[in-house]
Amino acid sequence: MIAPTGDVPEQKSLTLVIMSPEYAQPTGSTSASLERAIKQIATKKGNSDRIYRNTIFYLACSEAGRAALNGQLCDLLACNKILEEYAGRLESDQKQDIQTRKKEFDRQVDAALIKAYNIVAKCSAKEGIEYYELKAYAMDFSTQVRQTLMSELVEEEWILHSIGRTQLSRNNLLPEIGRPISVETLFETFLRFDDKPMILGKEAIINTVNTQCQRGLFNVGVGIEGQYTKIYHDEEVPFFGEQNWDELWLLDPSVLPPSVLPSSVLSSSGSAGNAGPSIQSQEDEELSSSSNTEEENVVKTYRKVTTSGGVPMENWIQLFPSFINTLRKNNLKIDVK
């Protein structure tokens, strides 16, 4: 979002706002006008309070960088003016010289723009406005914003690819017995509250849950709270990105699926006063147990599964972590039509 002049709508995904050059930051101090503009965007959307306060960060220019950029722009505009108004009067060698200078000024303007916009800011209710000065510069502004800037902010832990155990514990987001946490709550918490690092989006939640479930930090249940149709233990959650996150729950690692519960938990013992089952009932139990074992040992095999549907082009990349990788890890052949 570049130099917004009106109200910035609610942002539920990570958003960079590039501030107007009029809010340039003085060397060695802060700009009151820049801070007012940032606080207005960070806390308000129109006349109401902003709900998702941990999704927006800001890129501003320095006064020194703006001055250097203005100088380079003046040189470039002068070349353009000469080529437009005096093209018919210039000798071929003069015209070639002006065009060569124009190319050089174009390059210098790009470099000056990158160096001018080197101040990243974020706003939180607790810490106020924090600033970070970029240390590396790319060859063009697009690469600077999309790659260099993001890499440095991830390195500084302003933005997280995945949420670690420390962050989860610090923010009381580790499940306990009797206190499961929905994945949607985890996601919303990092979008709403600005006392936490920002996250890259749903990708960060998918990485977090799959990684920590595999490590045994928590299990993941599917279904209604307390009534889970499936519990994932020490494994990834297949098709995670496509599921309803309100029905995915982080569970205490002691909440296990029946397949891994100790036999002592699954079996029930009679009371001390009972004489015990009769011989006939024991035989019935053995037959029933044998029958159940045979049923459990019957494995259905499918030679081919067809999944159809439409996916918008901008979401194709989500097919890999949530769909294709899951099939590939199970040594299944994939044919996309």
What mean pLDDT value characterizes the chain? 82
- What lies within 8 Å, CB to CB, of 147 at 6+ separation is 138
Note the pTM of the prediction, 2 decimals: 0.70
Rounded Cα gap, residues 180 and 129, in angstroms: 34
What pLDDT sits at residue 325? 62
pLDDT at 146: 92
* Measured CA angle at 59 (ends 54, 61), to 5 deg: 155
- For 132-175, how does the pLDDT look when each residue is reduced to its tens digit (9 = 90+)? 999 999 988 999 999 999 999 999 999 999 999 999 999 999 99
* Per-residue pLDDT at 292: 53
Q: Per residue in 214-231, pLDDT tens?
A: 999 999 999 998 888 999
Q: Exposed, middle or buried: residue 208 (CB in 10 Å: 0-12, 13-18, 19+)?
A: buried
**Which regions in the chain score pLDDT beneath 70?**
259-303, 309, 311-332, 337
Cα separation, 283 vs 322, whole angstroms = 47
Give the model's pLDDT for residue 318. Answer: 60
Write the CB contacts of 228 (distance below 8 Å, at least 6 apart in sequence): 221, 222, 249, 251
